[in-house]
Amino acid sequence: MLAPLLTLAFLVAPPHAKPRPATNHKDPVCGMTVPDTAPTVVVHGRTYRVCGKQCGEALEKQPAKYLEKDGTPKVEAKKK
């Protein structure tokens, strides 16, 4: 009885949404300028460019420290 219900739930579930593309040009963690070809990480369904592995891991572990509630990097928000 449970197997058919799980199968049905799987079939009607929405497909995984693609992460939003990166738009930042400064690393959210260290503030370094990053090119379009920089490595990326996905946090809360949004892609961010980072300068390297350490900053990417820091952003994944503590997104609230580096991102505003709307997902804007705090580094970007400060310059406005």
Radius of gyration for the alpha carbons in the chain, expressed in angstroms and rounded: 17
Reduced to 3 states (helix: H, G, I; strand: E, B; else coil), residue 69 is coil
pTM: 0.74
CA angle 24, 29, 30 (to 5 degrees): 95
Q: Which pLDDT score is estimated for 46?
A: 95
pLDDT band at 78 (very low <50, low <70, confident <90, very high): low
Per-residue pLDDT, 35 = 96
C-beta of residue 78 within 8 angstroms of C-beta of residue 47? no
Give per-residue pLDDT as tens, 1-40: 555 544 444 444 455 678 889 999 999 999 999 999 999 9
Residues belonging to the chain: 80
DSSP letters of 1-27? -HHHHHHHHHHHSPPPPPPBPP--SB-
pLDDT band at 43 (very low <50, low <70, confident <90, very high): very high
